[in-house]
Amino acid sequence: MPAVISPIAGTRIEPTDGYKFIKGTTAVFKVTYQNNGNPTKLDTGTDPIAKIFKPVFLNESGSPVPEVIITLTGSPVSGQEFEYEFTWDVPSNQTPLDDYIITYEGWLGGIYNNFGDEYFSISSLF
């Protein structure tokens, strides 16, 4: 069963099999932003944003706050009205784990919202 991970302004449901990527390859995340349970477009002239966080136990600083690995700018999925995609070239030296988090953000109604997040895995093998 899909798991809903901390939705705030909308709902984001993980794929039933979850995202799993191989380090050194290109990862593509797709998401439909929702507002009150309905698919929505972001404000005109703004971009969808995704942030990838590494697990807290990998923080070199010892901080209890997850550190952002990268911030991605998304784009509309061709042929889809409400779906956005984010592309990340996973570094070949990325630590393989199941505990990475991606969070989806954007402007809706002039307010910057977090549209939810989900866990994903990075593996060193196919």
What CATH number has the domain bearing residue 97?
A: 2.60.40.10
SS3 track for 5-30: CCCCCCCCECCCCCEEEECCCEEEEE
In a domain, 67, yes or no: yes
* Cα 101 from Cα 66, distance rounded (Å): 9
In a domain, 84, yes or no: yes
pTM: 0.78
At 125 the pLDDT is: 76
In a domain, 1, yes or no: no
In a domain, 10, yes or no: no
In a domain, 6, yes or no: no
At 17 the pLDDT is: 55
Looking at the structure of the chain, the number of domains it has is 1
pLDDT tens for 69-82 read 999 999 998 888 88
In a domain, 8, yes or no: no
In a domain, 80, yes or no: yes
Q: Which domain holds residue 61?
A: 19-123
Q: Which residues of the chain have pLDDT under 50?
A: 1-15
